[in-house]
Amino acid sequence: MLINISTASPPYKVFQKKAAEELKKRMVGTDAVGRLIDIASNYSGIDSRYFVIPDAEENPSSKFYSDNENYIKPDTKTRMKEYETWSKKLTFAATDELLNINKINPESIERLITISCTGFYAPNYDYYLIERFNIPHNVKRTHIGFMGCAAALIGFNSALEALSTLSPGKNILLVTTEICSIHLQTEPTKDNIMANLIFADGAAAALFSNSPDKKGLKIINTASYLFDGSSGSMGWEIGNFGFEMILSSDLPKLILEYAMPRLKSILAGFGVKKEDINHWALHPGGRAILDSIQKGLELPDVMMVPSRSVLKNYGNMSSASILFVLKEILNTTVIEKDDLCCAVAFGPGLTMEVVLLKGT
């Protein structure tokens, strides 16, 4: 059962208009490139995002992508050192809040699930979480890497499997952190423009337990689906200057025409119809993505509020985003006993992860 979620954001809040202006300066290209940036920014559905990089702040004392007023392209090693620093800071912050709010003794954590697709180092941040919070050194660990925006729901599947073997009084901690801003790419391509204008940084921590005295959302079922011939639709490659994103402009169409019918089929396999779902946690991959989901499921605007709110105020934080949406639902919505909540997210290629939860 999902008990609670805490989140953490970097200190630098960047408004979308300012981000677009900064992007124009760095993407040296034609006037058409500038117009594309403006169109993508205005249509993004995003008002602000949070970055670990201070470059778009007003009069920052230092910049990551500039040196003496000259724009630079930090190499991948430099970017990974920044990832290491901030992944620790943000996961520590989200975990500390979660444990304190829920009065959880770290010694009760029997399973630790960590998630990220924007960087790596070894030992990973799970090692430092164990040290920082005195989590038992024999905790069972799982790391889910490079599975993109859907990875947190893959983590829910791991949590569901672990719950069946959890010792009495013990808990599962799931933590995800994504530092997308360290992968700015300035070649004036459509993929880079879209990636630079929607992705953001953030971390989230989720607590799972089987304790009968706790209330939350019970995981009823999970499902995964990989769509044939979709390997070029979404993904990334590790370059000499950070990770290079692949974002097909056909993604919204693929989601509408293929993913939504498959989602209805998955729900039918769970024994429910879309009309039975009381709450929808939909990954805010971008405005066009949410529009396709809403159209494909024929959802009223009120059902889209949590996802659109996270997109508007935080952008797309890759795997962390769906936990931000679930937290929004937990904090702003009354979840009655037996209410159904469906969480949906998409990953590289085009893969879809689905989790069905029920109020307790």
Per-residue tokens: 36: 């594309």
Print burial letters for 54-86: b (CB count within 10 Å at least 16), e (below 16).
Answer: bbbbeeeeebbbeeeeeeebbebeebbebbbeb
- pLDDT > 80? residue 28: no
CATH number at residue 312: 3.40.47.10
Average pLDDT in the chain: 95
User: Looking at the domain assignment, is residue 289 inside a domain?
Assistant: yes
User: Looking at the domain assignment, is residue 341 inside a domain?
Assistant: yes
What are the tens digits of pLDDT across the range 130-159? 999 999 999 999 999 999 999 999 999 999
What are the tens digits of pLDDT across the range 227-268? 999 999 999 999 999 999 998 889 999 999 999 999 999 999
Please give the model's pTM, rounded to 2 decimal places. Answer: 0.96
Average pLDDT over every residue of 4-24: 95
Ranking 65-74, 105-114, 302-311 by mean pLDDT, the lowest is 65-74
User: Looking at the domain assignment, is residue 72 inside a domain?
Assistant: no
User: Looking at the domain assignment, is residue 142 inside a domain?
Assistant: no
- pLDDT > 80? residue 56: no
Q: How many helices (H) and strands (E) does the chain have?
A: 11, 15
* CA–CA distance, 145 with 151 (Å, rounded to integer): 8
User: Looking at the domain assignment, is residue 3 inside a domain?
Assistant: no
Local structure of 215: helix, strand or coil:
coil
| 69 confidence band (pLDDT: 50, 70, 90) | confident
| 211 confidence band (pLDDT: 50, 70, 90) | confident
CA–CA distances in Å: residue 68 to residues 9, 19, 65, 74: 28, 20, 10, 14
For position 176, what pLDDT does the model report? 98
For position 230, what pLDDT does the model report? 93
Average pLDDT over every residue of 348-357: 97
- pLDDT > 80? residue 59: no
User: Looking at the domain assignment, is residue 354 inside a domain?
Assistant: yes
User: Looking at the domain assignment, is residue 269 inside a domain?
Assistant: yes
How many domains, in total, are found in the chain?
Answer: 1
- pLDDT > 90? residue 214: no
Average pLDDT over every residue of 183-208: 95
What are the tens digits of pLDDT across the range 277-300? 999 999 999 999 999 999 999 999
For position 357, what pLDDT does the model report? 98
User: Looking at the domain assignment, is residue 284 inside a domain?
Assistant: yes
Cis amide bond preceding 261, omega within 30:
no
Place of tokens 């940036």: 37
For position 53, what pLDDT does the model report? 94
* CA–CA distance, 198 with 77 (Å, rounded to integer): 24
Task: State the residue range of the domain holding 273.
Answer: 217-359
